[in-house]
């Protein structure tokens, strides 16, 4: 998995390449300045530490001063942060820092709207693996900032038997029985089902978590009655903000929504830079 510093390094190399020909031609190395990052629309801020690290990687002596904490609501025109240091570093890092902030704030803001739509429900809203390649650690962080939870981080930290696993193993029960022989007792086994007969198979095989994939409300209620509290119940597939409350009211334990990450838009922030010498 990529570390945050590695992602920053990739982003800076992508943008600057062998050198910023404009900045290096116009700005003497010794000149200093102040950059002010502004919100151009209401948002939930996320990624402040990442933005600070962008400038620090270009100028180790830079001073990054956030005016908020990740998770705070920011209004239009509000100063999000200020950064003081070499003008070259501020100008070279501006776009990269804003790109991180805009994407992560976009996810956090989007997720917060989903969380608010759930109201005081006890259901756990979680993300999926539908993330930007390489950015998963950051995007899942932004999900938490927005107030939701993470599902598994990748294929390595949780057992989830998907529809294709079921198909190639010859059924839900066979897949669960096969994996149970190989897994430690410390790991829970989750299986994805789309039909009620598969729910029965999952119960008979002792699944810990049953994911009801793309079922309608009537099917979900029937599945819950069949399960009867013998396993945790997750619903997934086609989850929208408007459907959240209806799904939560059925009594399911978990709602997973890929839209938390893949449907979030970037928020609008800008940076104003001034020279001090």
pTM higher than the cut 0.85:
yes
> What are the structural domains of the chain?
4-115+265-275 (3.90.1170.20), 119-262 (3.20.20.70)
Cα(111)–Cα(145) distance, integer angstroms = 9
Q: Per the residue annotation, which of 130, 178, 188, 221 is the catalytic one?
A: 130
95 is catalytic: yes
CA–CA separation, 210 and 5 (whole Å): 37
Is the separation of the CB atoms in 142 and 111 below 8 Å? Answer: yes
CA atoms within 13 A on the CB side of 263: 14
In the chain, the DSSP E strands lie at 32-39, 43-44, 63-66, 73-74, 79-86, 124-126, 159-161, 189-193, 209-213, 232-236, 254-256, 269-275
Furthest-apart CA pair in the chain: how many Å? 74
Would you give the DSSP letter of residue 149?
Answer: B
Which of 20, 24, 72, 95 is an active site residue? 95
Catalytic residue among 70, 139, 192, 201: 192
Active site (annotated) includes residue 49: no
Establish whether 40 is a catalytic residue.
no
Of 13, 40, 65, 162, the active-site residue reads 162
pLDDT in tens, the chain (277 residues): 568 999 999 999 999 999 999 999 999 999 999 999 999 999 999 999 999 999 999 999 999 999 999 999 999 999 999 999 999 999 999 999 999 999 999 999 999 999 999 999 999 999 999 999 999 999 999 999 999 999 999 999 999 999 999 999 999 999 999 999 998 989 999 999 999 999 999 999 999 999 999 999 999 999 999 999 999 999 999 999 999 999 999 999 999 999 999 999 999 999 999 999 8
Confidence at residue 150, expressed as pLDDT on a 0 to 100 scale: 98
Report how far residue 12's alpha carbon sits from residue 55's, in angstroms, rounded to the nearest whole number: 10
Please identify which of the residues 56, 201, 213, 234 carries the catalytic annotation: 213
What span, in angstroms and rounded, lies between the C-alpha atoms of 58 and 169? 52
Residue of 193, 189, 141 lying closest to 167 (CA atoms): 193
Which pLDDT score is estimated for 277? 87
What distance in Å separates the CA atoms of residue 214 and residue 240, rounded to the nearest whole number? 12
Using alpha carbons only, what angle is made at residue 194 by residues 107 and 211, rounded to the nearest 5 degrees?
A: 50
In the block, tokens 């990052």 appear at 37
**Residue 213 a catalytic site member:** yes
Active site includes 130?
A: yes
Q: Using CB atoms within 10 A of its CB, is residue 234 exposed (0-12), middle (13-18) or buried (19+)?
A: buried
């Amino acid at each position: 998995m990529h570390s945050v510093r590695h992602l920053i390094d990739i982003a800076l190399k992508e943008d600057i390449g062998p050198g910023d020909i404009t900045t290096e031609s116009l700005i003497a190395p010794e000149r200093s300045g102040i950059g002010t990052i502004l919100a151009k629309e209401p948002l939930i801020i996320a990624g402040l530490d990442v933005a600070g690290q962008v400038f620090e990687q270009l100028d180790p002596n830079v001073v990054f001063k956030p005016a908020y904490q990740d998770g705070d609501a920011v209004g239009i025109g509000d100063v999000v942060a200020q950064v003081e240091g070499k003008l070259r570093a501020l100008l070279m890092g501006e776009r990269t820092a804003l790109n991180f902030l805009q994407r992560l704030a976009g996810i956090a803001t989007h997720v917060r709207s989903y969380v608010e739509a759930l109201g005081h429900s006890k259901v756990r809203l979680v993300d999926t693996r539908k993330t930007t390649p390489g950015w998963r650690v950051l995007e899942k962080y932004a999900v938490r900032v927005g107030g939701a939870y993470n599902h598994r981080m990748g294929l390595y930290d949780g057992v989830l038997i998907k529809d294709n696993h079921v198909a190639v193993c010859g059924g839900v029960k066979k897949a669960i029985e096969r994996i149970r022989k190989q897994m430690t007792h410390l790991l829970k086994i989750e299986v994805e089902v789309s039909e009620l007969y598969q729910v029965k198979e999952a119960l008979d095989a002792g699944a810990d978590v049953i994911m009801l994939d793309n079922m309608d409300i009537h099917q979900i209620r029937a599945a819950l009655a069949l399960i009867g509290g013998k396993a945790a119940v997750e619903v997934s597939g086609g989850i929208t903000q408007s459907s959240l409350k209806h799904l939560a009211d059925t009594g399911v334990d978990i709602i997973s929504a890929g839209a938390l990450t893949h449907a979030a838009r970037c928020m609008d922030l800008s940076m104003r830079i001034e020279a001090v010498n």
